[in-house]
Structure 1
Amino acid sequence: MEKIRNLSIRKTIVLYMGLNLILSYGLSFVIIHTANDAQQKIWFRYIDKDRYYEAMENKGDDYEINITRSKLNSMTKTDRVISELCDFLDTYSILVISCLGTIIAVLLFYKHKIQIPLGELKEASARISEGTLDFSVAYSNEDEMGQLCRQFEKMRCQLEENNKKMWKMVEEEKALRSAISHDIRSPLAVMEGYQEMLLEFLPQESVSRDKIMKMLEAGMQQIKRMKAFINTMQKLSKLEERNICWNQIDVADFIEIVKNNTVILGKKAQKECHTVVKSDQQSVYFDSEMVLEVLNNLIGNALRYAREQVYVEVDISGDEMRVCVQDDGKGFQEDAELLTKAYYHGNPQSDLTHFGLGLYISRVYCEKHGGKLLLVNQDQGGEACAYFKLKT
C-alpha cells in the first residue's frame, strides 16, 4: 500500500485506468452473460416445447439448437420489459460501465492523489497571504505532489527566515539610530558648553589662559571621538557587504598566529593570556581574516573586563571550529542579545575609542560563516564562544 501511495502521478493514472478497464470488461461480461441467460429463459416460455425436446433428442455434432426470439406481442408485459432490458444491457453495458468506471477512477485518483496536497497548498497560500508563516506543510508522499509540497515548505521556511531577518534589521536600525543620536549628541553638548563658556568669559578676560587651553583640549578630544565614531559607521556600513573567502589554511600555521596574537594583546593590556588549541585536522577551508578578527575582538573585550587572566581555547574538529575566550572578571551583566547589538556599551563616557561594535561584528561574522556567537557566565567570569563552519 505504501508503494502504491508513493507512485508517481503518471503511473497512478495508468494503474487506475488499467484496473478500470479490467473491472469494467469483467463486469460487463458477467452482466451480458446473465442478461442472455435471463432472456433465453423468457423466450423458452413461448416456444413449442415438443419440437424443442424432439430437436434435443435428435441433436447431432454438426448443428446446434438455439431458442429463437419470441414476438413481443406474444409475451406478457413483465416478460416484454425484462427482454427489452436484457437487449439494452447486451448492447450498451460495456459503454455504460466503462464510463462509470472512468468517472469512479478519476474521483478516486483526485481523492487519493490530489485532494489532500491541494488542500494543504491552498490553506498554506491563504495563511501566507495573511502574513502568517508559523506553520508547516505536512505531506509525506514521495510523488510529484509530495515534492511540490516539500518545495513549498522550503519556500515558506525561506520566507519566514527572510521575514525574521527583515524585522531584525528593522530593530537593529532603530537601535542604531538611537545609538548614533546619543553618541553624537553627547560630544556636541560638551563642545557647546565649552563654546558658551568661552563666549561668555573670553571677552571679559575673566578666564585664564590655562583654562582656555584645557577647554580647547577637551573640545579636541570630543572632535576625535566624533571622528572615530564616523570611522566606525563607515566600517559598519561595509560589514554586510563582506563575503566569505574560503581559503585553504594550514592548521599549524593558524595556531601559531593565534598564539602570537594572544601573547601580544595580553602584554599590551598587562594581563596574562593562556591559550589551548585542539585540532584533528591538518588543513581546512575557512576565512582566516574573519576568524582572526572575531578572535581579536573577543580577546580585546575579555582583557578590558578581566582582573588578571584571560583563557583562550580553540578547538578544530570535523567541519566546525569553536573559539572560546573566558576572563576572570565579573561576567556579563546584561542579556546576550543586548550585548551583541551595534553601539551598545555600558558607559559611553569611559572610553573615547570604544563604541560597542566588537561583539556585534563578531556575531555578524559568525553568522556569515555558518556559525553563532554565545555569551555565558561561568563560575570564574564571562565566556564568549564563537562557532564557525569549516570546509574540509
Structure 2
Amino acid sequence: MKFYDVLASLIHDMKNSLSMVIHTLDEITADAAVDFDKPARMTVLQNEAKRLNNNLIELLTLYNIENERISPSIEEVDVAIFIAEIMAENRSSAEANHIELVSDCDPELFGYFDENLIRNVLNNLVGNGIRYTRDRLLISAAQEAGYLVFRVEDNWSGYPEQMLSKQSAEDDHGALAEGRTKLGLYFATMIAEMHRNGEQQGFIRLENSHQLSVGCFSIWLP
C-alpha cells in the first residue's frame, strides 16, 4: 500500500470529523440564548477532536514507517502501569459516553516493546471502541504462547465475517477507504509487524468471542 492511499483515506476521515465539529459549534452558537444540552454537545466535540488527533498521529507514523524514518525502540515496560495510563487517558471520554471502561492485567506482568507505538495503537482501538460499543469496554494484557497479547473488547455487534476472514487491511487494499476500522487495521498491522524477536514477528487478530463474547481486537508482540 502506498502512502498516498493512506493519506486519501485519512483526509476523508478528518474531513468528516471537522464537519461534525463545525456543525456542533454552529448549533451551540445558534442556541446560545436558550437552554441546551451542553454536556452532550461538548462530548461530541471532545470525541471528534480526539479522533482528529489520533488520525494525525497515524498519518505521521505511517509516513515515517514508509520512508524508513522510524524504527521501534524496544524497552522493558511494566505492563500493568502501562494499561493504567491508557485507562486514565481515555476515562473522561468513556464516562462522557456512559461507557464502563475496565481492565484486566497481572500486576507482575512485564513486556518488551516500543511503548509510544503501542500506546498509539491502543488509544486508537479504545477511541473506536468507545464510539461503537454498547456500554462496556475491556482492555487487557496477558502472556500467551510466547507473546505479549493486548486486547480491546467491546460488547456491541462484533466484526463482520468478511473482516474476520481478512484479518488484516493488507489483505484488502481496495476497500481501505470504506471505513475507519480498515485503516485502524492497517495501522495496527504495521506497528505489530515492526516488533520482532528472532523468527517471531508481531501480528494482529480479530475475534468475536473472548471475555466479553463479542468484538475482540488483539495485538500480539513477540
Could you report, residue by residue, the CA deviation over 1:337-386 in whole angstroms, capped at 9, with x for unpaired residues?
A: 37635783545xxxxxx685322211111111131100122384211111
- What is the alpha-carbon root mean square deviation over aligned residues? 4.0
1:363 paired residue among 150, 164, 189: 189
Tell me which amino acid in the other structure corresponds to 2:131. Answer: R
Residues 97-126 of structure 1: per-residue CA shift (max 9 Å, x gap): xxxxxxxxxxxxxxxxxxxxxxxxxxxxxx
| Aligned equivalents of 2:153, 2:122: Cα separation in 1 | 12
Distance 1:320 1:175, change over 3 A: same
Aligned with residue 203 of structure 2, among 347, 350, 372: 372
Describe the shift of the 1:310–1:251 C-alpha distance in structure 2 as closer, same or farther (beyond 3 A): closer
Counterpart-to-counterpart distance in 2, 1:385 and 1:286:
15
Deviates more, 1:361-370 or 1:374-383: 374-383
Which 5+ residue runs of structure 1 have no aligned equivalent?
A: 1-171, 188-226, 348-353
| Relative contact order, higher structure (CA 8 A, sep 6+) | 2
* 1:344 alignment partner, SS class: helix
Superposition map of 1:1-392 within 5 A: 172-173=1-2, 176=5, 180=8, 233-240=59-66, 241=68, 242-278=70-106, 280-281=108-109, 283-316=110-143, 319-333=146-160, 334-336=162-164, 337=166, 340-341=169-170, 344=176, 346=178, 357-369=183-195, 370-378=201-209, 380-389=213-222
| C-alpha displacement of 1:251 | 3.9
One-letter amino acid of the structure 2 residue matched with residue 243 of structure 1: S
Q: Deviations over 1:202-260 (max 9, x none)?
A: xxxxxxxxxxxxxxxxxxxxxxxxx99x9565543213432110123234432432332
- Contact kept? 1:331, 1:377, Cα under 8 Å: yes
- Larger-gyration structure (1/2): 1
In structure 1, give the amino acid aligned to 2:133.
A
Tell me which protein shows more helix as a share of its residues: 1
Quick one: distance in 2 between partners of 1:315 and 1:262? 21
Residues 384 and 318 of structure 1: CA distance in aligned 2, closer, same or farther (over 3 Å): closer
Gaps of 5+ in 2: 16-51, 196-200
User: Quick check: 1:345–1:355 contact (8 Å CA) kept in 2?
Assistant: no
TM-score (norm 1): 0.36
Count of residue correspondences? 171
Letter in 2 for 1:267: E
CA distance in 2, matches of 1:357, 1:284: 26
Structure 1 vs Structure 2: percent identity of aligned residues? Answer: 21
Give the Å deviation of 1:268.
4.5
